[in-house]
Amino acid sequence: MNLIRDLRRKNRLSQAQLAKLCGVTQTAVSQWENGHTAPDTATLALLADYFQISMEQLLGRNAGERERHLIPVLGYVRAGLPAQAVQDILDYEELTPEMARSGEHFALKIQGNSMLPRFCPGDIVIVRKQPDADSGDIAVVLINGDDATVKKIIKSGAGLHLVPLNPDYETILYTRRQVEELPVTVLGKVVELRGKF
């Protein structure tokens, strides 16, 4: 991690100043620079943002190495788009090159029991950003600009049905008028589930 040392010196920061910026001890910064340890993913994101370089560059990956595609894991989404502030990012997940080429993605940590037994609390879903989804798809849907929900969507003449997989929860129907006025917005389609133990 000599790159961290080089970037710190180039930006005229002391180890103590960089430690304060990252919310860690000066010893931690020293260990990064000596190659004894590495920053966690959230700190890497903070450093990459501060120094205006990619996480791949910060990790010192050469052009000949396999390119990594990291996406943020969010605890929630709001305002039509995933929150991008570093403090809202729980972790990072890696995509295959094929998946990365298929569009822009984010990851969301499942909360609640409405999608049991297939989706458990703490599981991570990989979501491809798109403004609509087909009837029968599992999607991330934003209601009234508040936190989004993961549900199976069914479209009908009556409107949009948000269907939980857990039979203990009821399907919610939003009429076409409600979809327009609330609004009810599809943020993306769930394309992969990553179970966590």
**Residue 88, pLDDT score:** 63
**Residue 77, pLDDT score:** 62
151 as an active site residue: the answer is: yes
Of the candidates 30, 102, 151, 189, the residue annotated as catalytic is 151
Name the stretches of the chain with pLDDT < 70.
1, 60-67, 76-88, 147, 197
- What would the pLDDT profile of 130-169 be if each residue is shown by its tens digit? 999 999 999 999 888 776 899 999 999 999 999 999 999 9
Domains of the chain: 2-58 (1.10.260.40), 69-194 (2.10.109.10)
**Residue 7, pLDDT score:** 87
Alpha carbon distance 39, 34 (integer Å)? 12
End-to-end CA distance of the chain: 31
114 as an active site residue: the answer is: yes
Report the 10 Å Cβ neighbour count for 36: 11
Alpha carbon distance 162, 187 (integer Å)? 14
**Residue 156, pLDDT score:** 96
CA neighbor of 142 nearest in space, from 1, 134, 151: 151
Of the candidates 102, 109, 114, 135, the residue annotated as catalytic is 114
**Residue 60, pLDDT score:** 66
